[in-house]
């Protein structure tokens, strides 16, 4: 196999046999927010199938309003951490590597939902997606506690045996809400101009780095778009993107997970580079690309909203971009959800055996 997808990759303490990453996908299959044996087996099957690195579904930090769903796992209660320890043990027994994606939903979480329905939702300015005032702005104490909650979660991940940690800073959730002028109307150190609005995220990265040490890999996931607005852009030019990323890089980010809906789409006019390509070029850091890898038809957002199926797609352009070292790692979502053996089949050239994605896959932990 000469495909660049199956070349080794290493950074800091993380060594992978190939460039394939299982993308984080919310499954809501953890009753009481505790990942059970079925969740551990689900991730183990992907490790057995040859994925280089698994990034788990989003798992919430220790804030009362971090989650809107008691079937979404948390990453702080003793029972949940015990469940995650079993996940790590199963993945490692199958020869895999794994990182949790730690998460806070912010104002995307509707008040009255989740583990603590009585708690008001957290947000930089307490604004809904439409800009309506629906709750209080986070206090300095709330912000400090949230930063510490992310650091505690990362420390727990390291202690349990996870191989890295990913911070969810994308898709309109809490960290991303601090980035956006429409959601962040603060006039203090947590608000301000385009660069100053990265301060909250940078402080989370710094706190995690202080907790886990210099050699433990920190992955930061970000997106230009958000669920509230697919056309939104944090940075309109490469220069703006460089300014946005600089504080996050200086804080200690090791790998950027650059979330796009279709990996082949260029990020800026005048270049074919996608978001992961530009991010690597501007920061010098390894990047993960993602977005409809191995599939054609509806993107993942459409799939999860409309329950559309997707056909198998070609990998030629993806491999060509990876060969040119535009990015370093490739996250695969729905294709791996439908077919745990996807990586092994691609490695062995058994493309005719690949399973297409069926929306029915969303109902079970295949």
Give pLDDT, residue 307. 64
What's the pLDDT tens digit per position in 260-311? 999 999 999 999 999 999 999 999 999 999 999 999 866 666 565 656 778 8
Which DSSP letter does residue 329 get? E
**219 has which bridge partners?**
166, 255
Q: Are 225 and 193 in contact (CB under 8 A)?
A: no
Is residue 49 packed enough to be buried (19+ CB in 10 Å), middle (13-18) or exposed (0-12)? buried
Give the end-to-end CA distance of the chain in Å, rounded to a whole number.
27
**pTM exceeds 0.85:** yes
19-28, 248-257, 271-280, 295-304, range with the lowest pLDDT? 295-304
Give the pairing type, strands 287-290 and 311-312. Answer: unpaired
Ranges of H-type helices in 173-225:
174-179, 199-212
Give pLDDT, residue 296. 82
User: How far apart are alpha carbons 339 and 70 in whole angstroms?
Assistant: 27
Give pLDDT, residue 127. 96
Q: In this model, does residue 235 exceed pLDDT 80?
A: yes
User: How far apart are alpha carbons 220 and 205 in whole angstroms?
Assistant: 8
Query: 42 catalytic, yes or no?
Result: no
Q: Are 244 and 194 in contact (CB under 8 A)?
A: yes
- Tokens for 6, please give them: 């199956």
User: How far apart are alpha carbons 336 and 22 in whole angstroms?
Assistant: 7
What's the pLDDT tens digit per position in 82-140? 999 999 999 999 999 999 999 999 999 999 999 999 999 999 999 998 899 999 999 99
Give pLDDT, residue 60. 98
- Of 106, 185, 196, residue with least CA distance to 142: 106
Helix (H, G, I), strand (E, B), or coil: what is residue 158?
helix
Give the pairing type, strands 295-296 and 311-312. Answer: antiparallel
User: How far apart are alpha carbons 51 and 46 in whole angstroms?
Assistant: 6
- Of 352, 164, 184, 148, residue with least CA distance to 254: 164
What's the pLDDT tens digit per position in 160-216? 999 999 999 999 999 999 999 999 999 999 999 999 999 999 999 999 999 999 999
| pLDDT confidence band for 360 (50 / 70 / 90) | confident
Report residue 335: phi and psi, to 5°: -60, -40
Classify 55 in phi/psi space as left (phi over 0), alpha (psi -120 to 50) or beta. beta
What's the pLDDT tens digit per position in 322-337? 999 999 999 999 999 9
182 CB neighbour count, 10 Å cutoff: 15
Helix (H, G, I), strand (E, B), or coil: what is residue 91?
helix
- Of 160, 120, 127, 161, residue with least CA distance to 142: 120
User: What H or E segment, with its residue span, contains residue 11?
Assistant: strand 9-11
Give pLDDT, residue 95. 98
Is residue 208 packed enough to be buried (19+ CB in 10 Å), middle (13-18) or exposed (0-12)? buried
Average pLDDT over residues 246-261: 98
Q: Are 207 and 152 in contact (CB under 8 A)?
A: no
The catalytic position among 42, 43, 173, 256 is 173
Give pLDDT, residue 301. 61
Give the pairing type, strands 255-259 and 218-223. Answer: parallel
Cα three-residue angle 167-322-354, rounded to 5 degrees: 85
- Tokens for 258, please give them: 């650059």
What's the pLDDT tens digit per position in 46-84? 999 999 999 999 999 999 999 999 999 999 999 999 999
Q: Are 318 and 364 in contact (CB under 8 A)?
A: no
Give pLDDT, residue 298. 61
Give pLDDT, residue 354. 94
Average pLDDT over residues 26-46: 98
User: How far apart are alpha carbons 338 and 42 in whole angstroms?
Assistant: 11
């Amino acid at each position: 196999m000469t495909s660049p997808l199956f070349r080794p990759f290493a950074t800091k303490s993380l060594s992978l046999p190939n460039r394939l990453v299982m993308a984080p996908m919310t499954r809501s299959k953890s009753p009481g927010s505790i990942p059970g044996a079925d969740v551990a087996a689900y991730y183990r099957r992907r490790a057995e199938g040859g994925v280089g690195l698994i990034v788990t579904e989003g798992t919430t930090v220790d804030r009362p309003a971090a989650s809107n769903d008691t079937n979404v796992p948390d990453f702080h209660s003793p029972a949940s951490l015990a469940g995650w320890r079993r996940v790590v043990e199963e993945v490692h027994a199958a020869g895999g590597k794994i990182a949790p994606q730690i998460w806070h939903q912010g104002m995307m979480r509707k008040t009255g939902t989740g583990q603590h329905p009585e708690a008001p939702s957290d947000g930089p300015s307490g604004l809904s997606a439409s800009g309506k005032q629906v709750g209080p702005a986070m206090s300095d104490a709330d912000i400090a506690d949230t930063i510490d909650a992310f650091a505690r979660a990362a420390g727990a991940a390291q202690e349990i045996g996870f191989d890295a940690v990913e911070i969810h800073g994308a898709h309109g959730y809490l960290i991303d809400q601090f980035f956006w002028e429409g959601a962040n109307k603060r006039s203090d150190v947590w608000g301000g101009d385009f660069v100053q609005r990265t301060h909250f995220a940078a402080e989370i990265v710094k706190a995690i780095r202080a907790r886990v040490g210099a050699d433990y890999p920190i992955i930061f996931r970000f997106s230009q778009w958000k669920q509230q607005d697919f056309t939104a852009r944090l940075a309109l030019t490469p220069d703006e993107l460089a300014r946005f990323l600089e504080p996050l890089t200086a804080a200690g980010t090791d790998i950027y997970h650059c979330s796009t809906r279709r990996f082949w789409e260029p990020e800026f006019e005048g270049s074919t580079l996608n978001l992961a390509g530009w991010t690597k070029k501007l920061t010098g850091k390894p990047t993960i690309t993602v977005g409809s890898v191995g599939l054609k038809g509806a993107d993942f957002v459409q799939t999860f909203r409309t329950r559309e199926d997707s056909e198998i797609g070609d990998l030629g352009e993806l491999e060509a971009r990876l060969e040119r070292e535009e990015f370093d790692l490739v996250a695969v979502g729905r294709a791996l959800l439908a077919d745990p053996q996807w990586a092994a089949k691609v490695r062995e050239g058994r493309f005719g055996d690949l399973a297409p994605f069926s929306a029915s896959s969303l109902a079970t932990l295949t």
